[in-house]
Amino acid sequence: MNSFLTKLKESQQREPALHIIDTVKKNNIYTIDISSQVNNSQVLDRIYEYKDKFPISRTSSIENAWHSDYFFHNHVPDLDVILLNTIEKYIREFYAPKNTYDLILLSSWPIIYQKGSHVNRHNHGVSALSGVYYVQTGTGSQPLVFSPSEHTIHPKEGMLVLFPGDLYHYVPVQKVEGTRISIAFNYAFNIKLNSGIVNRH
Ligand SMILES: [Fe+2]
């Protein structure tokens, strides 16, 4: 587990809230249902608007899928209101409850998966905290699998998964027709200088 997050968590332990679907305490993974707090149809609209503007997938590492650039948040002015503020509330709650760190959103990117899409085993490098929000799922949507633990999360619409950025994970090949849409993101923590400010890059 990311050593920074381990130390931060150890120093700021508190009881988890009731809305957690699942936790893997050893690996510091949280799975949370935020469907009642997010305007999912607006998020979906923003993704398809972005895809219409930039239809070429920005990575070759995922076959048969559309992957935006890594700065989705910079192009969607109301993403804070419709999604990010909720995500950041839970990051603070679970990883920095004493509110002594600013969050820095480093990158965010939606992915639209279809039949045949998959993501090879990877991690998010230097990101202290990473996650994924599931915008659209359906029967046959492939899980998120952490490696080497093989801990498997089956996505549902409105589900948020938070995990240390150095944890390896992959998405197996989607074998059935259907569209699976997610937004992934990376955050850093910075010692708080100004209360409540989120720096976006
Ligand atoms: Fe990933």
> Which is more confidently placed, 10 or 75?
75
Dist CA 31 CA 12 (whole Å)? 19
Residue 126 — very low, low, confident or very high, per pLDDT cuts 50/70/90?
Answer: confident
Distance (Å) from CA 96 to ligand 1 centroid: 22
Is the model's pLDDT at 9 over the cut of 70?
no
Distances in whole angstroms, Cα of residue 170 to Cα of each of 3, 146, 147: 22, 7, 8
Distance (Å) from CA 122 to ligand 1 centroid: 6
Is the model's pLDDT at 61 over the cut of 80?
no
The CATH number corresponding to 3-200 among 3.30.450.20, 2.60.120.620, 2.40.50.140, 3.40.1830.10 equals 2.60.120.620
Q: Is 114 exposed, middle or buried (0-12, 13-18, 19+ CB in 10 A)?
A: middle
Distance (Å) from CA 194 to ligand 1 centroid: 30
Distance (Å) from CA 184 to ligand 1 centroid: 7
Peptide bond into 148 cis (omega under 30): yes
Distance (Å) from CA 170 to ligand 1 centroid: 7
Residue 76 — very low, low, confident or very high, per pLDDT cuts 50/70/90?
Answer: very high
Q: Average the pLDDT over each of 20-29, 90-99, 140-149 and give the range with the smallest value.
A: 20-29
Distance (Å) from CA 4 to ligand 1 centroid: 19
Residue 12 — very low, low, confident or very high, per pLDDT cuts 50/70/90?
Answer: low
124-147 exposure pattern, b = at least 16 Cβ within 10 A, e = fewer: beebbbbbbbbbbbeeebbebbbe
> What are the φ and ψ backbone dihedral angles of 18, each rounded to 5 degrees?
-80, -15
Give the DSSP H or E segment for 88.
helix 85-95
> What are the φ and ψ backbone dihedral angles of 85, each rounded to 5 degrees?
-60, -35
State CA 32 to chain mean position distance: 11
Mean pLDDT for 27-52 is 94
Distances in whole angstroms, Cα of residue 33 to Cα of each of 59, 133, 159: 29, 10, 5
pLDDT of residue 18: 46
Can you tell me which residue has the tokens 């093989």?
A: 150
Distance (Å) from CA 168 to ligand 1 centroid: 8
Mind listing the pLDDT tens digit for each residue in 165-174? 999 999 999 9
Mind listing the pLDDT tens digit for each residue in 136-148? 998 889 999 999 8
Residue among 92, 89, 98, 93 nearest 11 (CA): 98
Structure-token pair, residue 128: 């202290």
Distance (Å) from CA 132 to ligand 1 centroid: 8
Is the model's pLDDT at 153 over the cut of 60?
yes
Please enumerate in sequence order all residues whose Cβ is within 8 A of that of 197, keeping only pairs 6 or more positions apart, or say none.
102
Distance (Å) from CA 41 to ligand 1 centroid: 23
**In 28-77, which residue ranges form alpha helices assigned H by DSSP?**
40-53, 72-75
